[in-house]
Structure 1
Amino acid sequence: MIEKKDNHSRSHIGYGSSYRRGRHHEVKQPAGIGSVLGGQVWVIKPDKKAQAENPCLWMQSGAVKFKSCNNFYDCTTCKYDHAMQAKVDKGKQVSWQDAMRRRPALERVCRHSLTQRIAHRACAYDFRCEKCDFDQYFEDVLSAKTKSDPTWVETVKGFDVPRHYHFHNGHTWARIESGGYMRIGLDDFSQKVFGQADGFELPLMGKEMNHNEIAWGLKRRDNLADVRSPVDGVIVEVNTRVLENPGLTNREPYGDGWLFLVRTPDIKSAAKQLMSDADSTNWISEEVGVLEEMVTEVAGPLAADGGTFGSDLYGNLPGLEWKKLARAFLKTE
């Protein structure tokens, strides 16, 4: 039983295209690209005036006609940005900075406004970002502390699985943030199975985490469960709010209840080691099957359709063993 929650539906798919519901006779018409998904006809149409879903700085400045960012607004490691800068140095390309300097004064906005990461803000440093205090503050402080909320969530028998989040099989998640960071947390499944934590044993900023190795601890009563890290990287921010209020991770596991912000050396490789979207939904369905067997052992047969699980299974079913749950779902004890 899968339900979907759409908190921010949209009718574009980036890279200059739009889509709409169609009729069966439109599948073969030249007006658009017809396809069938789930029994519904969708007509996808290239749009010459469409905006990129994640517009590149070079595109927004007018230095190039069309380019969507595929490096999470981490310009320092972007191959495209480096190649364009090389062309600028050879005099074969106008820089995005010079393109912006040619605009009327009121249109000379901050690079973070150009890429839609912040609201309208005028540039006061003539696009010399290395001299801008706000630019440094935004990258090091504001972007690190800003939470990320899922825009599309599927619910599998009471467990939320958001879109565009990458999952580790130890029930942790990683979300790629603009600027090339990864935000880390515990998923909704683990929160509901283990119940509200009394506290967390979290590493400090600057600590290096390694993929699939034990990185922090989850405490409840006299029990402690180790949790494995979903990625390699160095912690650049710790969410101190969850130390003061552990229940925040239960109420908003994919929002304010995040645990760390990590800088990883190769963000794309890190994401490839994890599950995303369809894979994560199928995986949660399989985990629900394992959980149903464990619950049946201590509480007897479930409803014919399995029913929907609520929160705090460990607290409400005394027969469920902490260590057994940790071994099965966190892959630790």
Structure 2
Amino acid sequence: MNASSTKKPVSPQKRVVGFNVLEDRCIWMKAGVINYHICDNAFDCNACPFNRAIRQAMKIDPAVDDHTAASTWVTYLVERYDGANRPCRHALTGRISAPKTCPYNYECYHCAFDQMLDEADLGADLAVPTCRTVAGFRLADDYYYHLGHSWVRFEHGGRARIGLDDFAACVFGHLDQIDLPPLGARVQQDKVGWTFGRKQHRAGVLAPVTGTVLAVNHPAREHPELVNEDPYHTGWLFIVEPDLPKRNLRRLFFGAECTRWIDQEQHKLLGLMGPPYLDMAATGGSVVRDIYGAIDTLGWDDLTSAFLHTTRK
């Protein structure tokens, strides 16, 4: 089955919700340019339509080189604050809590502190998400989910951390191989982005967003059991710089959509398992973490076709 033939998630108007963002007020609001606007792009200002509209209204010339374009959105801030008191944009957005001034006129590509924050984010321990149980499977709050059972959590600047969801981790069980894309590789939404394996079986997983790979989780690649045991925390897989975060949202589930979707997936799974297991639908309890290994009648190809939406091989 091809991903393009599956039903798209509903609600075309969606907001990029950044995970653990302390302040969600738009930087233009923090600067006093506008009265109220909540960031809906995880502070990925360069890909934000609202930011472009503000720049046009303020007659900030967009016809500049890429490096300058990355900073001219704060031209107003340069004029508003004198050189000794310009607040760092990361303090304005809430990324750092301590006050800090900007010595570079908001040309962040010059700033070692800005680069250090990005590197620290890539290497930092992942915050533990809160989870709820739906049809016996865990769903991490404020994560987005793709119909191919990968998850995304958007972090500061719009970066997307990606992994395999708990449903797939339970269905496919104890994996012995995970092949992740290399640094700098391009992944495309709805196309196979990485693969996993169990004994002689292999399966491809559709990428939930389009973008460039910035980091991979080497411990999870070397110890695939982390993906089964802790898919939303230590078992994350890689980080992507998305091309345009909001453009990917129409193919992702979020919030209440996830509950309805997992309920549907559970009933599909029970149908594949057969009549003896239909009573599981009424229990609402936890499920075994190796359904494929526990149910002899389940075929690997049937599971990959039904839930990963990849072509059988």
Percent of aligned pairs with the same amino acid: 33
Q: Structure 1 residues 149 and 293, CA, compared in 2 at 3 Å: closer, same or farther?
A: farther
Query: In the alignment, does 2:282 pair up with 1:305?
Result: yes
Aligned partner of residue 25 in structure 2, secondary structure: coil
Matches of 1:296 and 1:180 in 2, distance apart?
A: 42
Query: How many aligned residue pairs are there?
Result: 275
Give the structure with the higher percent strand.
1
Q: 1:162-241 residue pairs with structure 2 within 5 A?
A: 162-241=140-219
Paired position in structure 2 for 1:67: 37
Q: Which structure 1 residue ranges, 5 or more long, are not aligned?
A: 1-51
Q: Which structure 2 residue ranges, 5 or more long, are not aligned?
A: 1-21, 62-73
Amino acid of the residue matched to residue 176 of structure 1? F
Matches of 1:83 and 1:171 in 2, distance apart?
A: 35
Amino acid of the residue matched to residue 288 of structure 1? Q
Aligned partner of residue 279 in structure 2, secondary structure: coil
Paired position in structure 2 for 1:125: 103
**Higher-Rg member (1/2):** 1
Q: Structure 1 residues 304 and 73, CA, compared in 2 at 3 Å: closer, same or farther?
A: closer
Matches of 2:55 and 2:112 in 1, distance apart?
A: 23
Matches of 1:67 and 1:196 in 2, distance apart?
A: 46
Q: Deviations over 1:276-332 (max 9, x none)?
A: 2222211110111111223335x5663582453221112223332222222221123
Amino acid of the residue matched to residue 132 of structure 1? C
Q: Contact 1:161/1:188 (CA < 8 Å) preserved in 2?
A: yes
Paired position in structure 1 for 2:255: 277
Query: In the alignment, does 2:39 pair up with 1:76?
Result: no
Amino acid of the residue matched to residue 138 of structure 1? L
Matches of 2:46 and 2:127 in 1, distance apart?
A: 26
Q: Contact 1:167/1:174 (CA < 8 Å) preserved in 2?
A: yes
Paired position in structure 2 for 1:155: 133
Structure 1 position 270, deviation (Å): 0.7
Query: In the alignment, does 2:55 pair up with 1:55?
Result: no
Aligned partner of residue 183 in structure 1, secondary structure: strand
Structure 1 position 81, deviation (Å): 3.4
Paired position in structure 2 for 1:15: none
Structure 1 position 113, deviation (Å): 2.3
Give the structure with the higher percent helix.
2
TM-score of the pair, normalised by structure 2: 0.76
Aligned partner of residue 179 in structure 1, secondary structure: helix
Matches of 1:157 and 1:81 in 2, distance apart?
A: 40
Matches of 2:280 and 2:110 in 1, distance apart?
A: 64
Matches of 1:201 and 1:303 in 2, distance apart?
A: 33
Structure 1 position 73, deviation (Å): 0.8
Q: Contact 1:61/1:100 (CA < 8 Å) preserved in 2?
A: no
Q: Structure 1 residues 143 and 303, CA, compared in 2 at 3 Å: closer, same or farther?
A: closer
The alignment's C-alpha RMSD in Å is 2.9
TM-score of the pair, normalised by structure 1: 0.72
Query: In the alignment, does 2:305 pair up with 1:327?
Result: yes
Paired position in structure 1 for 2:116: 137
Q: Contact 1:216/1:228 (CA < 8 Å) preserved in 2?
A: yes
Amino acid of the residue matched to residue 116 of structure 2? Y
Query: In the alignment, does 2:238 pair up with 1:260?
Result: yes
Q: Structure 1 residues 331 and 102, CA, compared in 2 at 3 Å: closer, same or farther?
A: same
Paired position in structure 2 for 1:111: 89
